[in-house]
Amino acid sequence: MLIKIKKENSIFNFSKTNTPIAKVKPKEKICIETKDALSDEIKSESQPFDSINWEKVNPATGPLFIEGAKEGDILEVNIENIKITREYGVMLTGKDMGVLGDSFERSFIKIVPIKENKAFLYDYEIPLKPMIGVIGTAPKEGSIPCGTPGEHGGNMDCNIIGEGATVYLPVNVEGALFALGDLHAAMGDGEVCVTGVEIPAEVFISFNILKDKDWKLPMVKTEKNIYTLASKPSLDEASLTATKNMVHFLNQEYKLSKEKAMFLLSAIGNLQICQVVDPLKTVRIELPLEFLK
């Protein structure tokens, strides 16, 4: 049986004080509806920019209480399918937004038609690569806005978190209190204008719970690669932490010494930028799974 979670059940902060909207079990099939990052409020390019309600940015559908998830566990999230549910995406850039925000005098809205598995941006036909921008669990203490990434996951804007990917997140409180949102039809590494092609969607997922693992999270696995991610105030700090976390993983799971892990990462690993426009910057380091058999 497929469990469907409606997009009207949204949060704007990850917190242990949020009331779960549903209880689910590991391996159950779940469909999560999402609003776009602007709460589906932008309908046209002529819409006044000051009509955007910034308090409703980056809604995440949830939270879900995962039965059996205990503090200290790892939540494994299997992303099985992403279905775009609207025929256009939305993009924003301009004054005080994105990498060049200080060079704009005003702000811009762009409606991007979506059809035939492509996004039509001006004269460019961009292949769709649906991905999840916000995905996370509640922190042990405090409240973290959905627009901020961190060790709990959150707004990592990592374009490898798409169909077929597996995301590993910490369980900081009983039930994990999982939520996701901020889907993109396409997004380049960096998200330099401040948005990807923002869309609502249906995300089909299932969970597993890993016990007795000492991993530094978040992590992501795809068919060919494994990644450790880190979000910090600067790209330098994020790069350092992502690399340390991968070295820790290689030691824990494959008994590689620090020097062996570093030689391996320097030979075949790839440091990659996820995003540079959120309150913290997110970096990932990629390691091909073929070297970890």
Domain extent, residue 267, equals: 3-291
- Whether the per-residue pLDDT at 240 is higher than 90: the answer is yes
For residue 178, give the 3-state DSSP assignment: strand
Q: What is the pLDDT of residues 187-238, one digit of tens each?
A: 999 999 999 999 999 999 999 999 999 999 999 999 999 999 999 999 999 9
Contact yes or no for 193/92 (Cβ under 8 A): yes
DSSP per-residue codes, 220-240: EE-SSEEEEEEEESSHHHHHH
What pLDDT band is residue 41 in, cutting at 50, 70 and 90?
Answer: very high
What residues have CB less than 8 Å from 60, skipping those under 6 apart? 10, 11, 12, 14, 34, 134, 135, 136, 146, 179, 180, 181, 182
Contact yes or no for 88/36 (Cβ under 8 A): no
- Whether the per-residue pLDDT at 293 is higher than 90: the answer is no
Report the candidate in 54, 46, 30, 49 with the shortest Cα–Cα distance to residue 207. Answer: 30
Q: Between vectors from CA 62 to CA 280 and to CA 19, what angle results, nearest 5°?
A: 105
Structure tokens at 77: 């999230």
Contact yes or no for 67/175 (Cβ under 8 A): yes
- Domain CATH code at residue 100: 2.60.120.580
Report the candidate in 86, 93, 64, 177 with the shortest Cα–Cα distance to residue 130. Answer: 86
The predicted structure's pLDDT at residue 19: 98
The predicted structure's pLDDT at residue 50: 86
Structure tokens at 250: 């290689």
Q: Which of 54-58, 61-65, 195-199, 203-207 has the least mean pLDDT?
A: 54-58
- Provide the domain count of the chain: 1
The predicted structure's pLDDT at residue 148: 98
Q: What is the pLDDT of residues 77-101, one digit of tens each?
A: 999 999 999 999 999 999 999 999 9
- Whether the per-residue pLDDT at 251 is higher than 90: the answer is yes
The predicted structure's pLDDT at residue 29: 98
The predicted structure's pLDDT at residue 269: 98
Across 265-280, average pLDDT? 98
- Whether the per-residue pLDDT at 254 is higher than 90: the answer is yes
What pLDDT band is residue 69 in, cutting at 50, 70 and 90?
Answer: very high
Q: What is the pLDDT of residues 20-32, one digit of tens each?
A: 999 999 999 999 9
- Whether the per-residue pLDDT at 35 is higher than 90: the answer is yes
Distance from C-alpha of 241 to C-alpha of 235, rounded to nearest angstrom = 10
What pLDDT band is residue 47 in, cutting at 50, 70 and 90?
Answer: very high
Query: Which one-letter DSSP state was computed for residue 260?
Result: H
Torsion of CA 78, 146, 141, 166, to 10 degrees: 10
The predicted structure's pLDDT at residue 288: 98
Q: What is the pLDDT of residues 101-143, one digit of tens each?
A: 999 999 999 999 999 999 999 999 999 999 999 999 999 999 9
Structure tokens at 263: 């030689």
* Helices 235-254/258-268 angle, 10° precision: 120
What pLDDT band is residue 284 in, cutting at 50, 70 and 90?
Answer: very high
